Amino acid sequence: MNGQIEVAIVGGGPAGCTLAALLAQRGIRSVVFDDDKRPELLVGESLLPRVISLMRRLGIEDRVKQFAQYKPGVGFISRDGSRLDFFFPQKAIKGMPNYAYNVPRPEYDNLLRTRAEELGVVFVKRRADLEKGSDGREIQLTADCLASVPELKGRHPKLLVDSTGRARTFARLLGIGTKRGTRNDVAYFAHFEGFDVEAMREGQVVITTLSRGWSWRIPLPGRLSVGVVVDKSFAKEHGESPEERLESIIASEPFLKDAGKDRRRVTPVMTYTNYQLISERGHGPGWVSTGDAFGFVDPMLSPGLFMAMHSADLLDQHVFANGLEILNQPKHLERAYAKVFDELIDWHEAWSELIEYFYDGRMYALHAAGEQLSKQYGERALPRIMERHLTTQITRLLSGVATRSRYGRRLLRFSLKHLVWDVDPAETFAIKA
């Protein structure tokens, strides 16, 4: 790669490293500011099949396999013990991989950085100092920060990319507002040994509805990631510290208590809040945001890491596919950004809609109705064939492969409205705050 560095990425998480690596594969130089400080645990350990395609483009899947757990699907257990199992199909989904992985995030994030470095990306071990911009830039690196990077040769890059995750550094500096979700949840999670994995099936992730809130169990090599997501006011009833709250909630919930009777926690307990947020604006003169810096959705169906990496992929496809000249063409650049963020917003809406069906109990009610069909009709009866077709469409929605499918989303809406009868109302299965 030759030439002046015109792209500076602030933040070396999955979105930033993915974008830097993709640009490097195009021969476009970038510099990444990363202070190299990461917590021991991060939300986003369970991946979707759609991510595998990006792993292959980056040439890292074989290395991911060495520290990951193969993931064939996801199971949902409601309060009454009924269970929905979604396994990725035996054949590739629309030509895309039909499996995924569960990954320890520090190892995965470090691999993304290593791959970017192998491709020639320059990493600067420091936080980027920023200020309101001048010379047509809305935001810029400070003079001292610019001078600290020899590769920039004292010349400001034409584009700054905010990949600072939930810190949303650019948006906060510029006072850009957000649209937040309605929930007031907090998550506590840690890794355990000795936690019974009988509920898992061949590496399957399990989501369980609790008396209040919900929990996840993600199998990783040699350990289990266990998290609980509850309303903040409810969490206060279970102690003062994150450790007390996680242990107390596990001990008070039958599904978790029995499975975890011999548990031994092997990591600190991490806390996460703010589960749905999207910025009112994701770009401006001289800058653009990617990943969680633009927006994030509820983690229930594991969309987070996919959305982070895919947002970088969208910038690569729509903005940089024809090289850096677009940065000198404001009208073309604006149209490219419009494509990126129109699609990102549609992704957020599609995920939020799908996740809500689990929160409000409608997905469980639909499953109960499907079970009724299985008992009443033979495998070849039309209602049973329709039920199997619907299950296939839901699996595609959950996989990230066809989450935005107009057909799949309409079919699911129609089914939830018209094909649920003679079962307990959806409220019976809803996740309670």
CA distance 160 to 157: 7
Q: Which residue ranges does the chain devote to CATH 3.50.50.60?
A: 7-68+103-178+276-352
% of the chain with per-residue pLDDT over 70: 96
8 A C-beta contact, residue 223 and residue 69: no
Contacts of 174 (CB under 8 A, 6+ apart): 132, 138, 139, 284
Q: Would you call 106 exposed, middle or buried from its count of C-beta atoms within 10 A (0-12, 13-18, 19+)? A: middle
Nearest in space to 206 (alpha carbons), one of 260, 269, 167, 160: 260
Q: Which residue ranges does the chain devote to CATH 3.30.9.100?
A: 185-273
- The residues that bridge with 220 in the sheet, in sequence order, are 223
- What tokens were used for 279? 């910025």
* Range with lowest mean pLDDT among 245-249, 348-352, 364-368: 364-368
| Average pLDDT of the segment spanning 66-80 | 93
SS3 408: helix
SS3 8: strand
Confidence of residue 388 (pLDDT cuts 50, 70, 90): confident
Mean pLDDT score of the chain? 92
Q: What are phi and psi of 149, to 5 degrees?
A: -115, 95
Crossing angle of the two packed helices 330-359 and 304-318, in degrees rounded to 10: 160
* Cα 390 → chain centroid: 24
pLDDT number for residue 254: 92
CA distance 417 to 412: 9
In sequence order, which ranges of 13-164 are alpha helices (DSSP H)?
14-25, 49-58, 61-65, 105-118, 143-147
CA distance 30 to 229: 38
Is the pLDDT higher at 275 or at 36? 36
8 A C-beta contact, residue 103 and residue 96: no
Write down the CATH superfamily of domain 7-68+103-178+276-352: FAD/NAD(P)-binding domain (3.50.50.60)
For the whole model, what pTM was predicted?
Answer: 0.94
pLDDT number for residue 197: 76
Confidence of residue 319 (pLDDT cuts 50, 70, 90): very high
The residue assigned the tokens 């047509």 is 136
Which residue type, as a one-letter code, is found at position 229?
V
CA distance 32 to 9: 5
8 A C-beta contact, residue 67 and residue 103: yes
Q: Is the pLDDT of residue 373 over 80?
A: no
Q: Select 185-273's CATH number: 3.30.9.100, 3.30.70.100, 3.30.450.40, 3.40.640.10.
A: 3.30.9.100
